[in-house]
């Protein structure tokens, strides 16, 4: 009787092994589920980026305002009827400028 019980236990263990640890088993399915979630999150991020780029392309193709804005910000272009003023910040002294008397240490 004990040998029969032992044979049944070994048979059940042999049948359970592929379900838990074999190819297509529970552990592998769980790992694949994690990979799917990671890829879906990455795809959502890339889709948002692609949608933004698509909107920018459509705006550049249809209107001149976007082209003008990009030329102004990236290329520093100015219209012919405008005057361009550039202000220097006080935080960064100009090249060759002398230090103020309080900062002059001897």
Q: Where are the domains of the chain?
A: 30-74
For residues 25-30, give the mean pLDDT.
84
Q: What is the DSSP letter of 24?
A: T
Query: For residue 45, what pLDDT is reported?
Result: 97
| Global model pTM greater than 0.75 | no
Q: Has residue 105 got a pLDDT over 80?
A: no
pLDDT digits (tens, 9 = 90+) for 39-58: 999 999 999 999 999 998 88
Q: What is the DSSP letter of 74?
A: H
Please spell the DSSP secondary structure of 76-100, one letter per residue: ----TT--------SSSPPTTPPPP
Give rounded-to-5 percent helix, strand, coil for the chain. 65, 0, 35
Q: Has residue 10 got a pLDDT over 60?
A: yes
For residues 1-20, give the mean pLDDT.
86
For residues 2-18, give the mean pLDDT.
87
């Amino acid at each position: 009787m004990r040998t029969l019980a032992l044979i049944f236990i070994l048979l059940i263990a042999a049948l359970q092994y592929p379900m838990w640890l074999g190819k297509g088993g529970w552990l592998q399915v769980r790992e694949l589920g994690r990979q799917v979630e990671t890829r879906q999150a990455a795809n959502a991020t890339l889709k948002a980026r692609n949608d933004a780029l698509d909107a920018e392309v459509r705006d550049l193709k249809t209107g001149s305002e976007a082209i003008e804005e990009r030329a102004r910000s990236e290329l520093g272009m100015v219209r012919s009827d405008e005057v361009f003023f550039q202000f220097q910040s006080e935080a960064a002294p100009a090249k060759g400028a002398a230090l103020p008397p309080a900062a002059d240490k001897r």
